[in-house]
């Protein structure tokens, strides 16, 4: 299972082939989306900001990135 990238940076498991990066500022929304994706068999990485997402993307290539439309920093 993956962890949040907000503080320590991502910790992607090289054996997992389907990573999803969730970029959402609301922690409750991130938890809901994370739970649904993990139940479907995906490994999930979280970021609460664009800066945190960019740190994650520097070390992993997710299969999918889900971005909160409220993050206008993009």
Domain ranges of the chain: 19-67
Rounded-to-integer distance, Cα 24 and Cα 34, Å: 11
Q: Write down the pLDDT at residue 72.
A: 63
Rounded-to-integer distance, Cα 47 and Cα 5, Å: 5
Arithmetic mean of pLDDT over the chain: 82
At 65, is the secondary structure helix, strand, or coil?
strand
- pLDDT tens digits along 10-42: 555 555 568 999 999 999 999 999 999 999 989
Rounded-to-integer distance, Cα 36 and Cα 48, Å: 18
In this prediction, residue 69 has a pLDDT band, given cuts at 50, 70 and 90, of confident
Homologous superfamily, domain 19-67:
Response regulator (3.40.50.2300)
Q: Which two tokens stand for residue 8?
A: 């320590």
Number of Cβ within a 10 Å radius of residue 66: 16
């Amino acid at each position: 299972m993956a962890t949040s990238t907000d503080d320590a940076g991502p910790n992607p498991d090289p054996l997992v082939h389907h990573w999803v990066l969730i970029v959402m500022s609301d922690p409750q929304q991130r938890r809901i989306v994370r739970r649904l994706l993990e139940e479907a068999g995906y490994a999930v990485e979280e970021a609460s900001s664009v800066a945190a997402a960019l740190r994650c993307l520097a070390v992993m290539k997710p299969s999918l990135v889900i971005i909160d439309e409220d993050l206008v920093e993009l």
